[in-house]
């Protein structure tokens, strides 16, 4: 609200793009479920099975649970936060080499 921008637009412009989080989105695209998005399963039933759960779209709680990302992008984000803490909150660290 303070920026005057939609939350998704602000996050994209000020976090995702500067940190080069190339596989991070402010949504969970249904077409990626089972491909780039993990499939969820229930806890074990009485017969020991786990039942595949339907895709969950976090429309109403996007701010809390609507992002999708990769482990590499989460590492970049974590490294940025660590670097901010170590540098008094004034520096954005961009990972420029691949993480293996």
Judging by beta carbons within 10 Å of its beta carbon (0-12, 13-18, 19+), is residue 48 exposed, middle or buried?
Answer: exposed
User: What pLDDT tens digit does each residue of the chain (100 aa) get?
Assistant: 788 988 888 889 988 998 899 999 988 888 888 888 889 899 999 999 999 999 887 777 767 777 888 899 999 888 888 877 777 665 554 444 444 4
pLDDT of the residue at 47: 96
User: What is the chain's alpha carbon radius of gyration, rounded to the nearest angstrom?
Assistant: 17
Helix/strand/coil (H/E/C) assignment for every residue in 57-74:
CCHHHHHHHCCECCHHHH
């Amino acid at each position: 609200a303070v920026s005057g921008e939609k939350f998704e637009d602000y996050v994209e412009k000020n976090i995702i793009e500067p940190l080069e989080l190339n596989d991070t989105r402010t949504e969970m695209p249904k077409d990626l479920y089972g491909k780039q998005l993990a499939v969820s399963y229930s806890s074990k039933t009485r017969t020991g099975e786990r039942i595949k759960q339907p895709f969950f779209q976090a429309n109403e709680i996007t701010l809390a649970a609507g992002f999708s990302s990769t482990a590499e992008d989460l590492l970049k984000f974590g490294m940025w936060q660590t670097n901010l803490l170590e540098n008094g909150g004034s520096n954005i660290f961009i990972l420029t080499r691949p993480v293996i």
